[in-house]
Amino acid sequence: VLAMPLFGQEIKVLYDEAELPQFTLPDPLVAADGTKITSAEAWRKIRRPELLAMFEAEVYGKSPSPQKISSRVLSEGDAFGGKATRRQVRIFLTGEEAGPHTDLLLYLPKSGSPVPVVAALNFKGNHSTSDDPEILLPKSWMRANDADGIKNHTATEKSRGAAKSRWPIERIVDRGYAVATAYYGDIDPDFDDQFQNGVHAAFYAEGQTKPAADEWGSIAAWAFGLSRIVDYLEQQDAIDHDRMIVMGHSRLGKTSLWAGATDERFALVISNNSGCGGAALSRRRFGESVRRINKSFPHWFCDNFVKYDDNEDACPVDQHELIALIAPRPVLICSAEEDRWADPHGEFLAGLYADPVYRLLGTDGLAVEEMPPLDQLVNSRIGYRIRPGKHDVTLSDWEAYLDFADKQLTSK
Residue ranges in 265-284 that form contacts with ligand GTR under rule CB under 6 A: 275-276
Residue ranges in 294-313 that form contacts with ligand GTR under rule CB under 6 A: 296
Among 102, 140, 250, 262, which residue sits at the site for ligand GTR (rule: CB under 6 A)?
250
Residue ranges in 120-149 that form contacts with ligand GTR under rule CB under 6 A: none
- Does 293 contact ligand GTR by CB under 6 A? yes
Cβ-based nearer residue to ligand GTR, 115 or 293: 293
Whether 345 is a known active-site residue: answer no
Least distance from ligand GTR to the Cβ atom of residue 108, Å? 28
Of 63, 250, 289, 335, the active-site residue reads 250
Least distance from ligand GTR to the Cβ atom of residue 300, Å? 8
Whether 250 is a known active-site residue: answer yes
Q: Which stretch binds ligand GTR (CB under 6 A): 206-214, 259-267, 288-296, 321-329?
A: 288-296
Cβ-based nearer residue to ligand GTR, 267 or 276: 276
How many amino acids of this chain bind ligand GTR (CB under 6 A)? Answer: 7
Least distance from ligand GTR to the Cβ atom of residue 179, Å? 20
Cβ-based nearer residue to ligand GTR, 288 or 347: 288
Among 148, 288, 312, 397, which residue sits at the site for ligand GTR (rule: CB under 6 A)?
288
Q: 3-state SS string over the chain?
A: CEEEEECCEEEEEECCHHHCCCCCCCCCCECCCCCECCCHHHHHHHHHHHHHHHHHHHHHCECCCCCCCEEEEEEEEEEHHHCEEEEEEEEECCCCCCCCEEEEEEEEECCCCCEEEEEEEECCCHHHHCCCCCCCCCCCCCCCCCCCCEECCEECHHHCCCCHHHCCHHHHHHCCCEEEEEEHHHHCCCCCCCCCCCCHHHHCCCCCCCCCCCECCHHHHHHHHHHHHHHHHHCCCCEEEEEEEEEEECHHHHHHHHHHHHCCCCCEEEEECCCECCCECHHHCECCCHHHHHHHCCCCCCHHHHHHCCCHHHCCCCHHHHHHCCCCCCEEEEEECCCHHHCHHHHHHHHHHHHHHHHHCCCCCCCCCCCCCCCCCECCCEEEEEECCCCCCCHHHHHHHHHHHHHHCCCC
Positions that interact with ligand GTR (CB under 6 A): 250-251, 275-276, 288, 293, 296
* Active site amino acids: 250, 391
